[in-house]
Structures are given as structure tokens and as C-alpha cells.
């Protein structure tokens, strides 16, 4: 798979794993991971796919995820149907990260890009981890795709950077 280009279709066959939110914020209550078929899900929605190097890591927690939580209403007002955070962490860690941030529904999904497989396929992995990037897919078509390469920066992949391009 090649790097994502604005105007191109989102690639076929992209899947992640996640644990469906149960409505509880109890970190000791876990469901079972299920497949999230991103290529199919993104066909009928406007989605912001946000990749971070790791759940609970300093920039990812203190700046990145909080920027999306704080701007959720603004993103919805711009027509965003879904926000999906991915990292190379497993689905259990990603589920706990969502709960730790007060997300108990599908307002923001937290999914696993196991082994950074998708991120590697588009050239935006960072070693064994996913890189830091955001992709906006509008009904199957990539309309925004930018990576942050400077350590600690969320200029292009944070909610404010994405909102400026919507």
C-alpha cells in the first residue's frame, strides 16, 4: 500500500480491533476485541482517523486525545460522524484509555493498529509504533492526510489542526 494522498480512495481491506464501549468507565470490566472494518465503515461516513504512538503516553494523553474531547462538538458541527483513535497498543489497552478519558460510548472509538500494520503500509510508522498523524475520510475518499514528525507536536494531527482544514 502506498502513502495516502488527498483525493484518493481510502485503501481496501483495512481493519483494526476494538472493544465495543459498554457504557461503564470501570477499568476492570473488559469486553472481547472485535474487528472494526475501517474500509467498509468509512464508505458511508465522514471520519477522522487519528494515530498516536501510544496510549497513556505524555503527548498522546495530555495534548492529543484531550484536543479531540474538547473539540468534539466543533468536529460534529463540521459534519464529522466518527473519530477513531489508533495506536499499536492492543485493544484492551485502547479500551482502558478511552474509559480513563471518560468515553463510555462510540463518540470516540479507541482501536488497535496491531503491530502498526496499517501505519507501516502507508509509511507513517515510528519503529514498532504507529506514527502521529490524522486522516480525514469523507465517504471513502481521503480529504486530509498529515503527519506530525516533530516530537511532541500535534500541529497537523490534533483537533485544532484538523478543524482548520475541514
Instruction: Give the active site residue among 38, 47, 51, 60.
Output: 60
3-state helix, strand, coil in the chain (%, to 5): 30, 25, 45
Residue 30 bears catalytic tag: no
| 74 within 8 A of 38, measured Cβ to Cβ | no
For cell 484531550, the residue is 66
| 115 within 8 A of 89, measured Cβ to Cβ | no
Long-range contacts of residues 118-125, Cβ cutoff 8 Å, at least 24 apart:
118/14, 118/16, 118/38, 118/86, 119/51, 119/86, 119/88, 121/1, 121/11, 122/1, 122/2, 122/3, 122/4, 122/11, 123/2, 123/3, 124/3, 124/51
Positions annotated as catalytic residues are 60
Amino acid at each position: 500500500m502506498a502513502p495516502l494522498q488527498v483525493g484518493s480512495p481510502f485503501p481496501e481491506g483495512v481493519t483494526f480491533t476494538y472493544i465495543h464501549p459498554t457504557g461503564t468507565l470501570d477499568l476492570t470490566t473488559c469486553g472481547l476485541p472485535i474487528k472494526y472494518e475501517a474500509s467498509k465503515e468509512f464508505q458511508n461516513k465522514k471520519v477522522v482517523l487519528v494515530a498516536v504512538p501510544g496510549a497513556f503516553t505524555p503527548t498522546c494523553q495530555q495534548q492529543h486525545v484531550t484536543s479531540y474531547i474538547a473539540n468534539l462538538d466543533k468536529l460534529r458541527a463540521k459534519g464529522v460522524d466518527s473519530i477513531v483513535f489508533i495506536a499499536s497498543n492492543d485493544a484492551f489497552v485502547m479500551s482502558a484509555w478511552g474509559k480513563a478519558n471518560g468515553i463510555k460510548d462510540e463518540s470516540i472509538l479507541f482501536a488497535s493498529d496491531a503491530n502498526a500494520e496499517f501505519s507501516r503500509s502507508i509509511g507513517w510508522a515510528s519503529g514498532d509504533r504507529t506514527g502521529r498523524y490524522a486522516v480525514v475520510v469523507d465517504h471513502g475518499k481521503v480529504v486530509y492526510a498529515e503527519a506530525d514528525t516533530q516530537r511532541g507536536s500535534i500541529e497537523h494531527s490534533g483537533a485544532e489542526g484538523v478543524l482548520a482544514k475541514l
